[in-house]
Every structure is written in structure tokens, then in C-alpha cells.
Amino acid sequence: MKKYLWVFLFAAPALAVFMAGIKVYYSLAIWKYEGETIVFEVKRGDTFGKINGRLSQKGIISSAKVFHRYAQINDTMTKFRAGNFEIKQGSTMLDVFDTLLKGQALTEKISIPEGKNLFEIAQIFEAKNVVKADEFIKLAKSQSFTEELGIPGERMEGYLYPDTYNLNENMSAEQVIRVMFSTFKNKTKEVNFSSAPLGLTKHQVIILASMVEKETGAGHERPIIAGVFINRLKKRMRLQSDPTTIYGIYENFNGNLRKKHLLEKTPYNTYKVSGLPVGPIANPGLESIRAVLSPKKHNYLYFVSQNDGTHIFSTNYRDHRKAVEEYQKNPKNRRGKSWRDLNKNSN
């Protein structure tokens, strides 16, 4: 009798452990998610408990308790990456673990046009749920961060290269900015900045290129406008560029540029400061950078918009005033015209 008692005392617990092991193995490797393929979101800052709870609520895992214990044993409770992940029909719990730990998060194609500033870029990314605008702006304006990256300016403006990016949702501001800066370095690695006119530094080239980018959307005009700015710098004339003035007050600007704004002294207002503004006012593309490095040689000192995306260029102030009267102060020459016409005519 005692012999059977000892068998019972040892065999029963062993059997229980064996059965528990079978149950865990079944939950992890045999049970399969039978719902439709689903996109599961892991948000930045999500705790393991929140992730586990949502997986269980959606029926993606068979047991929140087993999922928790497996993650605990494998020390992966804090290692899930943020992003959107595709959980396929027929996935086991082990498959779900691999997807959230090592799988490729779904990306979205996001285009950043040439000439957008850091504030506009931040809004584009927030609209696509990539990063919060205020987080992006705060880091992009951090001088300590620009110093870490080796940028000689006070902010990332000018170095957030305009391109099409494949980005995950809920990325950090640092991840996004580093991707954009890396693209800037790759796109400009073959550019010979030492050939800049007037001995401009690389940073000064980017500043001037950002101005060229904001002044015209007509590709053929970029070298001409770059030449105007170079001519004015040679003569020590103020650059008097409206886009620089706007950038200096951008965060409080309502879209209506007035005379009082032109008189407001900021480090970016080239009506009030001599030479270049303190930093770039937007993020230029390669063509604007090249236009500054190889500006068109001419005698123009002024230009005025024809209201269709192109400009009239003048060598003297008298002719410039005539152009202003004709194209800016004459309602007939403004009516029905838009810089968008330039895109229509180029198609």
C-alpha cells in the first residue's frame, strides 16, 4: 500500500506538470488565430499589459496569462517595437511574438515637397500619425541636437531633405529627423560645396538655396534668382526677400504680409539685416543647391512676381518699380492668376 502511495504522491504532480506543459505548448504553438488578417498597432509608450490586453480582446492570442509568462521568461516584456504590424490568419502565439519583436512594421509612403519648412513638415507627419508635431518641432529646434549631428545652425532647418519616405507610424521624432538628415547627407555627398561663389560656406549655401527654393517654383529660374542674390551680396545690398521675413515670424504669422512685418527686426528679416539670414528658411532640394553653386551670370538686381510662378527681372530700381506697378499694383494683371498655373503649364 505504501508503495502505491509513493507512486501516487510523485506521479500525480508529475502528471499535472506534464498536462500543464501540454496546455502551454498548445497555447503557444498549436492554437491558431482564425480571424481575418489584421493590422495590430503598438503605440510608443504602450506598456506590456496594454499590448497583452488588446491582443487578448481581439482574439489574436489564446491566453493572456501564457503570453505574459512566456514574455517574462524570455525577458521580452519591454522589447516590443512601436508600429503597425500585420498579424496573419493562422498565426500561432509564437508567430505573434516574432512579429511584434522582429517583424517589419508596416510603412506608409510620405512625400515631403521641396521648400517646406520644419513646421510644415511636422504637420505633414502628424497628419500621417508618424510623430506628434510638437515633438518634431521641439527636437528640430534643439541646438544641442544640431551640434550632436555636426550642423552649424541653431535648428535642423535646411537639412530635412525633401523626398519620399517609407515611415512607420508612431516613430520617435529623433528617428524621423535622423532618417531625413541621413538622406540629406546621401543626396549631397557628391556636391562640391567648395566651389561656392563669394567663398560661401556649406551652411551659407544651404541658407541661400532655401531662399531660392522659396522664391520660385520654376526650375529654369533658380540659377537666375541665385544670381540676383549673389549680385546683391557683391554690392553689399540687403537681400530684401519676403520669405525670409515671413520665416522670422512664422509661428505667429496669419498669412498676410504687411509693411509692419517688413520693419520688424528678426535675425531672418533681410529687409533689416545685412547679408544672409541667420539660418535656412526651408528645406531645399538638390536643384536649388546646385543653382547657388552655379548661379546664372547677369546684371539683374531685382525681380518681381508675374503672379503665375515666374518673375520679371530688372537691372535697376526704376525698371523694377515699373514692373511692380504693372504686375503687383495693377489688379488686371493679378486677377485669375496663380503660381499653380506654373504646374499646369509645365504638364
Q: pLDDT confidence of 107, banded at 50, 70, 90?
A: confident
The residue-averaged pLDDT of 143-158 equals 96
Q: How many other C-beta atoms can be found within 10 angstroms of the C-beta atom of residue 167?
A: 21
Q: How many other C-beta atoms can be found within 10 angstroms of the C-beta atom of residue 49?
A: 11
Q: pLDDT confidence of 333, banded at 50, 70, 90?
A: low
User: Higher confidence at residue 182 or residue 102?
Assistant: 182
CB of 129 within 8 A of CB of 186? no
Q: 107-188, what's its fold?
A: Dna Ligase; domain 1 (3.30.1490)
Residue 3 has pLDDT above 60, yes or no: no
How much is the pTM? Answer: 0.77
Residue 21 has pLDDT above 70, yes or no: no
166-199 pLDDT per residue, tens: 888 778 999 999 999 999 999 999 999 999 999 9
Q: What is the pLDDT of residue 342?
A: 53
Return residue ranges of the chain for CATH 3.30.1490.480: 107-188
CB of 97 within 8 A of CB of 77? no
Q: pLDDT confidence of 29, banded at 50, 70, 90?
A: confident
CB of 170 within 8 A of CB of 83? yes
**What SS3 state is found at 84?**
strand
CA atoms in the 13 A half-sphere facing the CB of 52 = 17
Of the segments 5-9, 71-75, 89-93, 123-127, which one has the largest average pLDDT value? 123-127
